[in-house]
Amino acid sequence: MRIVVTRRIPEAAVETLRQAGEVWMSDADRALEPGELAEAVDGAAAIVSMIHDRIDGSVADAAGPGLCVVANVAVGYDNVDVAALAERGVLVTNTPGVLTDATADLAFGLLLALTRRIAEGDRLLRARRPWSFHLGFMLGSGLRGKTLGIIGLGQIGQAMAWRAKAFGMQIVYSGRSRSAAEAELGARFVAQEELLTTADVVSLHCPLTPETRHLIDSAALSAMKPSAVLVNTTRGPVVDEGALADALTRGEIAGAALDVFEREPEVEPRLLELDTVVLTPHLGSATVETRTAMAQLAARNVAAVLGGEVPPNPVRQ
């Protein structure tokens, strides 16, 4: 059975796939164009996809009736039309759990880099600008006693909350329903409107859906405290980047730290000019251990389906 991998993955995962079928892996160091993707998947029984691949009914049709599974190497699967694939009898899987700590580590690292002006200080030194220590020099803000507002208290949101508690922060959260973890975390469930108006830090951990696209828009940003900061490590389109740039320029909020972008890999140009913004190129899961585990989990999902078994991580409609 033919297994198509749309972009290079760790060799350990490739070996797992080879035990299940014949592997074709793109050697292009970029996302495949739609036409290239359609050509590559012809005759595939399985597709191992990345978040930049749009996998819809037309891709499934290009693969043909033998396509059994699309294994997305990510927790989120907003790039996959699950309903269209289900209509064609194609199962979709994802890779939850294995990237929780890595993503929460980065989210909290971004928060520290922003509030303690770490990236800004690094730029100052690299630019060889003159500086001298004094008690008012490059003052940031501490986190102890501040309120972290988490939108989406899933696995990564909970991991972010644990890190915040270690720094002495108070936790509030909002979402579609209350979390069973709130008592253990000492977190308080609030309406999103209250979270936005009271949190010192708003951290986004919700999936990208039609309801959450531009969840953080001009109205949401204007509701936040002028001293508050925004952290986004989930999906770029959850934030209206143009509205964010406007809010930061006007001083409506104090800063933002982003690992994901609305039109990735493009970034709103105005954000690049602001010292109140910290940016990283989608590094949430970017550790050797985590990316390897993600690829291996995707490979195990493929092997299970092609072997007639239930995969570890099927996506439920």
pLDDT band at 146 (very low <50, low <70, confident <90, very high): very high
Q: Using the predicted structure, report yes or no on whether residue 317 has a pLDDT greater than 80.
A: no
| Average pLDDT of the residues in 286-309 | 98
pLDDT band at 197 (very low <50, low <70, confident <90, very high): very high
pLDDT band at 316 (very low <50, low <70, confident <90, very high): confident
Q: Using the predicted structure, report yes or no on whether residue 39 has a pLDDT greater than 90.
A: yes
Share of the chain above pLDDT 70, in %: 100
End-to-end C-alpha distance for the chain, whole angstroms? 26
Q: State the pTM of this model.
A: 0.94
| Domain range summary for the chain, segments of one domain joined by + | 2-98+288-306, 100-279
Topology of domain 2-98+288-306, per CATH? Rossmann fold (3.40.50)
Query: Do the Cβ atoms of 157 and 178 come closer than 8 Å?
Result: no
Q: What is the rounded radius of gyration, in angstroms, for the C-alpha atoms of the chain?
A: 21
Per-residue pLDDT tens for 175-184? 999 999 999 9
The CATH superfamily holding the domain 100-279 is NAD(P)-binding Rossmann-like Domain (3.40.50.720)
Nearest-CA neighbor of 311 among 5, 10, 20, 15?
20
Structure tokens at 249: 């320029």
| Average pLDDT of the residues in 60-75 | 98
Let me know if the fold of 2-98+288-306 is the same as that of 100-279. yes
Per-residue pLDDT tens for 245-254? 999 999 999 9
| Average pLDDT of the residues in 53-72 | 98
Q: Catalytic residue positions?
A: 235, 264, 282
Q: What is the pLDDT of residue 269?
A: 98
Per-residue pLDDT tens for 99-145? 999 999 999 999 999 999 999 999 999 999 999 999 999 999 999 99
307 Cβ partners below 8 Å, 6+ apart?
A: 20
Share of the chain above pLDDT 90, in %: 99
What DSSP designation does 30 have? S
Indicate the average pLDDT of the chain.
Answer: 97
Strands 69-72 and 188-189 come out as unpaired
